[in-house]
Amino acid sequence: MKHHEHRTNIPAVVVGGSSSGVGKTLVATAIMYHFRRKGFTVQPFKVGPDFIDPSYHEVISNRQSYNLDAWMMGERGILKKFYKASSGADVAVIEGVMGIFDGVSGKSDFGSTAHVARLLNAQILLVVDAGKTGGSIAALIYGFINFDKKLNVSGVVLNNVGSSKHLKIIRDNMRGRINVPIVGVITRNSVLELKERHLGLIPVLENRRIAEKKIVSSSQIVSKSIFFNKFKSLNVKKQMPLPAPSSGRSHEPVVRIAVAKDKSFNFYYADTIESLEMNDAQVVYFSPIKDNKLPDGTSGIILGGGFPEILADDLEKNRNMKKVILRAAQEGMPIYAECGGLMYLTKNLITCKKGKTKKSKMVGLIDADTSMGRRLTINYTEAENRSEFFKGISKVRGHEFHYSQIISIDKDYHFAYSLRRGNGIHEKKDGLVVYNCLASYMHLNFGADDRLGKRIVELSRAYSRQ
């Protein structure tokens, strides 16, 4: 597959950074805000594995944001998703991941922002944090622009500029050395800072009203700091309206699958939900915090990732839901859980606040405890599947991202996955199997392999026929 054969048919801009934490999300949503205000339809994307940034994109664009992840989806999958999702849009705005050249390993930039930009033949805006440097930032910018001559870095956005004097120093050092223009100058402003937690930005769902107000106001302010008249190569025009794409579902829903979605559980790829629906499932949402029972007619459960440790008290207090989920598992209902969902299914969630350790009782399906720690586990993962749960799927790729550990695991437990890459739950094994439940630290994107969603629908349908 030659990259030049797959040029974007709408203008596309990639917002890349020199590192994490330089303001990529702010700049991306500001660009989306500008074009939306001009009456254009904006299709957002996020490079790499991320559940939170896309929710910020959606607030501004009013369209579903999709991940473009080469490790899980492959190049063909990225191209397919990009063209399908961009149907009917006038411009695509793609937020990068970490630094521009940070990929799966140090041997190449596979999976990086640069990789995706080359694949889509999209221009890059380089965002740098100028806050703690003067003229030296010019050397950093020069390095990023010249590191890969195949990349089209069309502009630089300077974040955290302290004053007009500070900006002049930077401009003077760039003059004559760097031909790429400065297309944005964001002055130091604490009002613009988006709140973060140990796994990144705070999900919109935790306080939708306040979060949306903050995202919109910050995007509006930053959009005024970007010089759109210097976007000479980003010629956005209104596209011809296209018929609404079909949902992909071929029949009426055959099963109802209950997906946990609230302030504790909200880490889901859009492609995962859409895969279930395309395989004839009706997805219904419920809250393990607030609801006392599962939605009527539920034949399968999905417990995604999130922050159960933040609201462990509320999860513990909802005894009815814990009992319902435990009983459903014992009766053979298929349950698929990832990370936060895995933690919720253990006996206890152990947290430490202000030096005091606390145990919060969880569902108790898995005879082990979850302990929150300070060490981050972050990896792309690849596993050999040995479980009937995902029968017929020998290899799966995903990622893991957590601060917790599963402790006091019975050595007789059956694991679904043997990891070739990543840590998993215990000794390179992941995916605890109990009854008809699979619970892992590994996150999967069902859009990368449609057999995953299809299999969960099959299991749920078999249960509904009992």
Residues tagged active-site: 339
Report the C-alpha gap between 260 and 430 in whole angstroms.
21
Compute how many other C-beta atoms are within 10 angstroms of the C-beta atom of residue 158: 27
Angle of helix 53-61 relative to helix 208-223, nearest 10 degrees? 70
Residue in this structure with the two tokens 């599947």, named with its chain if needed: 385
H or E stretch at 379: strand 366-385
How far is residue 317 from each of residues 106, 312, 345, measured CA to CA in Å? 46, 9, 15
Among all chains, which residue has been given the structure tokens 């492609």?
271
> What span, in angstroms and rounded, lies between the C-alpha atoms of 142 and 146?
6
**Three-state secondary-structure class, residue 457:** helix
- For tokens 């014992």, what's the residue? 330
With residue 55 as reference, give the H or E element that holds it: helix 53-61
* 429 CB-contact burial (10 Å; exposed 0-12 / middle 13-18 / buried 19+): buried
Nearest-angstrom CA–CA distance, 33 and 40: 10
- Tell me the three state secondary structure of residue 338: strand
CA 440 to centroid of chain Cα atoms = 17
Do β-strands 123-129 and 182-187 pair in parallel, antiparallel, or remain unpaired? Answer: unpaired
Give the containing element (helix H, strand E) for 358: strand 356-361
Q: Is 458 left (phi over 0), alpha (psi -120 to 50) or beta?
A: alpha
Spatial CB neighbours of 22, under 8 Å, sequence gap ≥ 6:
127, 128, 129, 159
Contact 295, 257 (CB under 8 A): no
Instruction: Give start and end residues of each alpha helix (H) in 193-318.
Output: 208-223, 270-278, 312-317
